[in-house]
Amino acid sequence: MEYRKLGNTNLQLSTIAYGAFAIGGNMWGGNEKKDSIAAVHAALDHGMTTLDTAPFYGFGLSEEMIGEAINGRDRTAIQLLTKFGLVWDGSNQGKGEFFFDAEHNGKPLSVYKYATKANIIKEVEESLTRLGTDYIDLLQLHWPDNTTRISETMEALELLIQQGKIKAAGVSNYSVAQLREAEATLKLASNQVSYSMLNRSIERDLVPHALENQIGIIAYSPMERGLLTGKYFNDGKLKADDHRHGYFGQFDLDRVQQFLERISPVAESKSATLSQLVLRWTTLQPGITVVLAGARNAEQAIANADALRLDLSAEELNLINVELSKLNR
């Protein structure tokens, strides 16, 4: 495993981090607790010491399972990353900015973006309880809340750093303009954003800004929720309530399949999977500090960690990039 310094902080994060969205179950067709706990254990045992979760993932379930999985382990050897700013319970519902309608345990509910100081303080205490810890290594705003001043959100994060409840503060899904406004109040450690072979829009402005201002970039959805594994094109079956039925519709699936077929010889020459090749390519892109990779079981977690063993030559990277340029025309 490789480790990289996050922004201007002292945090050293594993280059591939464990993404805990899927083990929350909601939007992913459920989950198996035993397999999920085993996946976290396998990730840690193979050097993937950075775990990224959020209250919204399973409406608290993902954080609870991460807390259970790390119980009894050396907390100082683990970097816990979680988030705040999405609310759904009765006391907060209707406050903030409406995001979307969801379902939990068969009951409909509405999710709002809500990042006031009072709500942040409340959410952090709930996350600490679920995670079974007394500090969070990196706390991140999950989505921008246009009903709350950015300065108020940043002031709350600054207070939490002073109190020792979080080591560093970051954001997710922020534009360059929002980063600039936030940093007028607080120096941010990172911005977690969507980035993949099929989605490289951040390279235009966000990556140059991050490099210039020592802001780490944490890339989520590098596999485009499993599409770039190639399994979807090989009789991969999704459960009826899996959100990816609609998500994959944004892509030209025939062209994606052809692209994966053209780069698969590179993976095969290294006795690696397409998933490992895609992850390794992503870690080598300028400005990318950490790449999140989800896993539902131990086997998948180990395979993700092993992606960093791939040594890609300049010629191989060029081949992949040439094929990507054809795909994105």
Enzyme catalytic residues: 57
Distance CA 35, CA 294 (A): 13
Distance CA 130, CA 61 (A): 8
Bin 29: left if φ > 0, else alpha if -120 < ψ < 50, else beta: left
Distance CA 20, CA 304 (A): 13
Q: Are strands 97-104 and 86-87 parallel, antiparallel or unpaired?
A: unpaired
Q: How far is CA 304 from CA 62, 79, 191, 222, 299, in A?
A: 19, 17, 22, 12, 9
Distance CA 148, CA 86 (A): 13
Beta partners for 50? 79
**Exposed/middle/buried for residue 92 (C-beta within 10 Å: 0-12, 13-18, 19+):** middle
